[in-house]
Amino acid sequence: MSDRGAVGGPSPYSDLPYSPGFLAALPAANRAFLWLNRYVAVPAYRAGLGPLFSSPVTGSIMVLRTRGRSSGLMRDAPLGYVILDGSIYCCAGFGIRTHWYRNILVEPRVECLLPDRAVSGIAEEVVDPQEWLRGFRALIKSLGVIGRWTVTDVDAATDDLLRQKARGIPLVRVRVSGIAPGPSDPGGLLWVPITIVSTWWLLRRVARLVRR
């Protein structure tokens, strides 16, 4: 099925457990997220500004790097996440059509750029019912206000309600297997904001000395 539905036709996301209004907004939201991810979130994370994107509203945010199933190129997707029992959990909010989810079905080796570190690992969908409940509850709690608004208050929700709320949304576990290059490592872009700030500070100091 295409990522886009026919004009005036049913939403291509109608199998997801969202409200009618939220479902109607998903195609536009998907396009907006693609733009924001490519031109704002991913460049900021590569520059070492990841901690600025995590807040009580958005929760914890990482960049998941997968290999494109068709292009073979590395693709980056900012996602909410939680670390539980040494693994990283995230979910495909646009269901099985989510591009990064389809990528890991072909190539499960991924990299996770966290706010303070970067790791490599193996991504796989969680199928064990008990692990799913623990992982999904922890993940939604880690997503802050947005998680509770789009899903539910997991502290008060029953197991059956959680399964209903997550119908059609894969939960993915990344088993950490190593350390990946981060923004401050060779090849990273943390040097960019550091250089800008350092240059600005140095020019201000020189200007003050000249005026004396």
pLDDT digits (tens, 9 = 90+) for 194-209: 567 667 777 777 677 6
81-107 burial, b at 16+ Cβ within 10 Å, e below that, comes to: bbbbeebbbbbbbbbebbbbbebbeee
Residue 68 shares a structural domain with residue 162: yes
Place of tokens 């008060």: 156
Residue 191 shares a structural domain with residue 126: no
Residue 150 shares a structural domain with residue 198: no
Residue 49 shares a structural domain with residue 147: yes
Q: How many domains does the chain have?
A: 2
Task: Tell me whether residue 14 is in a domain.
Answer: no
Average pLDDT over residues 97-120: 91
Residue 74 shares a structural domain with residue 44: yes
Residue 135 shares a structural domain with residue 196: no
188, 140, 184, 186: which is closest to 163 by C-alpha? 140
Residue 96 shares a structural domain with residue 166: yes
Residue 103 shares a structural domain with residue 166: yes
Residue 201, domain extent: 187-212
State pLDDT tens for residues 171-184: 999 999 988 766 55
Q: Where are the alpha helices (DSSP H) in 99-176?
A: 99-106, 129-142, 144-150, 159-165
Mean pLDDT of the chain: 78
